[in-house]
A and B are shown apart, each in its own frame.
Chain A
Amino acid sequence: DTGVSQNPRHKITKRGQNVTFRCDPISEHNRLYWYRQTLGQGPEFLTYFQNEAQLEKSRLLSDRFSAERPKGSFSTLEIQRTEQGDSAMYLCASSAEFSGASSYNEQFFGPGTRLTVL
């Protein structure tokens, strides 16, 4: 399977614990995105990497959230001191980089990690 993979698929934790999720993008893709999706809502952008550089962060990404992509390949998203409001599906997507005015770079989404904070 050469798609975007995410681990774990499900995580249940107690409030106050730290959690870390991993995303493995499609191998030739240099862009990687994190989104969060709560029940009944569409995905909301969290942050975006081009290679190892984190280029944009949403206001949703509080100080308790940190994302890394140290070698420009896989990425991790850590949530410290989890709160019940952090319960959501965390989605990762990746895309390639093509240049040109009419270029289109589809973001391919992984299956997500569902976080439940008790």
Chain B
Amino acid sequence: GEDVEQSLFLSVREGDSSVINCTYTDSSSTYLYWYKQEPGAGLQLLTYIFSNMDMKQDQRLTVLLNKKDKHLSLRIADTQTGDSAIYFCAEVYSSASKIIFGSGTRLSIRP
């Protein structure tokens, strides 16, 4: 079946690293995504990882994929107030098909 799970809330201190975790069930997923959603704004694709990769780094973002455990994580280094948002983990079979989203993790930053 198709299911993506993630914790609902995360609070970190400004300047620390944030790690958002996600588990998924479909081992045939081709791509795994992280989307960001800010209040009143549309969904923004932050980064994605192809299923045959273990890690991807993009500036302050690091994505780790453990295919054996079907676990995906997003690390945001030096977390800033502008990183406050809801972060969605998502999976897709192929780039043409529907995206299966998790329920989102709300990241809040404390001073």
Contacts and interface: CB of A to CB of B under 8 A. Distances in A.
Contacts of A48: 97-98
Given A35-B99, A42-B102, A44-B101, 8 more contacts: A42-B88, A42-B90, A43-B88, A43-B99, A93-B43, A95-B96, A104-B95, A112-B42
Nearest to A46: B98
A97 B96 CA distance: 8
A103 B100 CA distance: 19
B42 A110 contact: yes
29 contacts: A31-B96, A33-B98, A40-B104, A41-B103, A42-B90, A42-B101, A42-B102, A42-B103, A42-B104, A43-B43, A45-B99, A45-B100, A48-B97, A50-B96, A56-B98, A91-B42, A93-B43, A95-B96, A102-B50, A104-B31, A105-B95, A105-B96, A106-B45, A106-B48, A107-B45, A109-B42, A110-B42, A111-B41, A112-B42
In this complex, which of A58, A102, A107 has the most chain B Cβ atoms within 10 angstroms of its Cβ? A107
A58 B99 CA distance: 12
B29 to A, nearest CB: 13
Interface of B: 4, 31, 41-45, 48, 50, 88, 90, 95-104
B43 A91 contact: yes
A106 B96 CA distance: 9
B43 A104 contact: no
Contact of A40 (B98, B101, B103): B103
Contacts of A111: 41-42
A43 B56 CA distance: 24
Contacts of B44: 109
In this complex, which of A33, A45, A50, A91 has the most chain B Cβ atoms within 10 angstroms of its Cβ? A45
- Report, nearest first, the 10 A-B pairs whose CB atoms are least far apart: A42-B101, A45-B98, A109-B43, A105-B95, A109-B42, A111-B42, A42-B88, A43-B101, A42-B103, A104-B95
